Chain A
Amino acid sequence: MTDSSIIVGFIPLLDCAPLVVAAEKGFAAEAAIDLTLVRETSWANIRDRIVVGHFDAAHMLGPMAVAATLGIGHLKVPMIAPYSLGLGGNAITVSTAVWEQMLSFGASVGAHPRQQGAALLQVVRARAQSNKSPLTFAMVYPFSCHNYELRYWLSAAGIHPDLDVRLIVLPPPLLVDALREGQIDGFCVGEPWNSMAVAVEVGCIVAPTTAIWRLSPEKVLGLRLAWAQRHPERLAALLRALYRASQWCEQAANHAELSRLLAQPQYVGAPASILLRGLSNQLSLTPGSEPVLIPNFYAAARQAATFPWTSHALWFYSQMVRWRQTDYSHEHLPAVRATYRPDLYRLALAPLAVDLPAKDSKVEGAPNGSPTIASPSGALEYGPDGFFDERIFDPDDVATYVASQEVVSA
């Protein structure tokens, strides 16, 4: 172990791309970092191995970092997220059988999540009336954007995620088989697993999660606060390498090469042609259909996608409260906010003289807000934003938002 080495754990998913590119395309070396990537099989392993120090940093679910800082669900270990590994990239997929039923209740390919949700509600009610077991949906981890996005969509449609359907955890690589075998009826996961389900003709994509929340956050680079405090320069160098890597991932001209890079078994280990769909925002939504452009499906760098907005951490917290993972406490808020570290992001990127947002937090989901945010050079484009049900989240008034989150049952 030298003073330039950084060991980073990751899960084989599309958005580990900036880490892979930093290691493989020379950005880490340029920043004088000896970057080692270690592929992991479960989020619990990512959590435990970063806690005991096997990993210096990890490809981490945003809510995981917040949960660790608060000590919800496991050890209380102050964790920080000084970098976002992108926006979006998830989707909700259902089995072809459920999709057929949804079509008969008014769903259609690529329709608004409200229309899809109304159709699913009819399916849920019809099953209840004929005494069939409730539908089972899978997600990848309780403290994940996938869990919260799926629950957000279901509950907005009038489907109670804990009473009207069953929600279970399954690891991403097992989802497609579970859907085929009928163990589950749908899932919410990151790419390439939605496109994989469509490609093998067992699933249909109901909604990309960017249709639910346009600028929805996703993975972050997570580290123990203690490690970051001990190695500030190494961390800054890593953030600079990642920034360049994310910019590289964003370029359409690099997508074919990137898809081949990620396809290798030591990284994601899925066909390059499937990975390319998510990278290029061209998803095939139902088996055999032509790919369609899903604008802003996955943003690696554009729209300030790499910026660790503290409002993201606060929204995750509001969902932890909503789904009873913790009780609301005003005292939690400073710790939640302090998990995301835009200050470290700014400090690290200062030498690059790139455009940065002027503020550390923003109102989430504001569709009529400015599509640009103030930055040193004038304006940095990041919009449009919006939750599909037109709610907005004001990070300066979490309590009111939390109190307004109703959950109704079908």
Chain B
Amino acid sequence: MPDEKSPAETLLRILIVDQNVLRASILEDGLREAGYRKVTVLRDMQNLMRRIVDNDPDVIFIDLENPNRDVLEQMFQVSRCVQRPIAMFVDRSDADMIAAAVDAGVGAYVVDGLRKERVKSVLDTAVSRFNAFNKLREELDRAKAALEERKVVERAKGILMKERGLTEDAAYTLLRKAAMNESRRISEVAQSVVTAARLLK
């Protein structure tokens, strides 16, 4: 809830480094809803260092798919590149928080000395948003796969209707029966029909 946060907390400067537009905006929205007002998204990896220096963030999030993670970390180690020392993750002893972040696919970096409770709530928000994105992506993948399966079944039906002079219903029944007899999924049988038809052409 936004009203639970202190004014200083809502003014944390948060930088999101993510080339995935959808995920970055889900995280950005989540942080804004949670009351954080200074959120910047960096999608373009050009001049990463310059832009981090300009932004002078308190907290940085980067997705783990990003190969530029190693680039980012070195900038923190070479302390003259950033105005304030940046630590990896939240607190070096807090293994649970790290595990939650890595599980969700996000790397988090904070300015050294930032109070742990301030960081915990922003990290919790980021982790839950990354998890929400992962769920969304799984759903999308499933929907895409289902659509592909439906397409294959349609094509198999078309082949059977043409080659064997069946009605659409009869073609579908035939596929379903074959699938049941062979204990396979109907989309797998359909794929075999499509492949066979292509080979026999």
Q: Which A residues form the contact surface with B (CB < 8 A)?
A: 41-45, 48-49, 51-54, 71, 73-76, 140-142, 168-171, 173-174, 325
Contacts and interface: CB of A to CB of B under 8 A. Distances in A.
Contacts of A168: 71, 74
Nearest to B49: A168
Contacts, number: 66
24 contacts: A41-B64, A41-B65, A42-B64, A42-B68, A44-B69, A44-B107, A45-B64, A45-B69, A52-B98, A52-B99, A52-B102, A52-B103, A73-B77, A74-B88, A74-B92, A75-B88, A75-B92, A76-B92, A140-B70, A141-B74, A168-B74, A169-B70, A170-B71, A173-B67
Contact of A43 (B70, B77, B89): B70
Given A52-B98, A52-B102, A41 B67 contact: yes
Given A48-B98, A48-B107, A169-B74, 6 more contacts: A41-B67, A48-B102, A52-B95, A52-B103, A75-B98, A171-B68
Contact of B67 (A76, A142, A174): A174
Contacts of A73: 77, 88
Contacts of A75: 88-89, 92, 95, 98
Contacts of B70: 42-44, 140-141, 169-171
Contacts of A325: 77
A372 B108 CA distance: 49
B139 interface: no
Contacts of B125: none
Contacts of A54: 102-103
Contacts of B103: 52, 54
Interface string B47-89: 0000000000000000011111111011001000000000011
Contacts of B74: 141-142, 168-169
Contacts of A71: 92
A49 B88 contact: no
Contacts of A169: 70-71, 73-74
Contacts of A48: 64, 98, 102, 107
B98 A171 contact: no
Nearest to B67: A171
Contacts of A142: 73-74, 77
Contacts of B65: 41
A173 B71 CA distance: 13
Interface of chain A, main secondary structure: loop
A359 B200 CA distance: 66
A339 to B, nearest CB: 19
A51 B67 contact: no
B42 to A, nearest CB: 17
Interface string B88-115: 1100100100110011000100000000
Contacts of B71: 168-171
Contacts of B67: 41-42, 171, 173-174
Contacts of B64: 41-42, 45, 48
Contacts of A171: 67-68, 70-71
Q: Which among A48, A54, A76 has the greatest number of chain B C-beta atoms within 10 A?
A: A48
Nearest to B100: A52
A90 B166 CA distance: 64
What 6 pairs between A and B have smallest CB-CB spacing? A169-B74, A171-B67, A42-B69, A52-B99, A41-B67, A44-B69
Contacts of A141: 70, 74
A168 B75 CA distance: 8
B25 to A, nearest CB: 22
A50 to B, nearest CB: 10
A45 B64 CA distance: 7
B138 to A, nearest CB: 18
Contacts of A170: 70-71
Contacts of A43: 70
A44 B17 CA distance: 15
Given A74-B88, A171-B68, A44 B102 contact: no
Q: Which among B64, B65, B67, B89 has the greatest number of chain A C-beta atoms within 10 A?
A: B67
Q: Which among A41, A43, A141 has the greatest number of chain B C-beta atoms within 10 A?
A: A41
Interface in B132-191: none
A51 B95 CA distance: 9
A126 B68 CA distance: 32
A174 B48 CA distance: 14
A49 B107 CA distance: 11
B17 to A, nearest CB: 12
A51 B103 CA distance: 12
A188 to B, nearest CB: 14
Interface in B6-56: none
A53 B98 CA distance: 11
B28 to A, nearest CB: 23
A57 B103 CA distance: 17
A367 B66 CA distance: 43
Nearest to B65: A41
Contacts of A52: 95, 98-99, 102-103
A48 B95 CA distance: 11
Contacts of A51: 95, 98, 102
A185 B103 CA distance: 37
B23 to A, nearest CB: 15
A33 B89 CA distance: 34
A74 B71 CA distance: 15
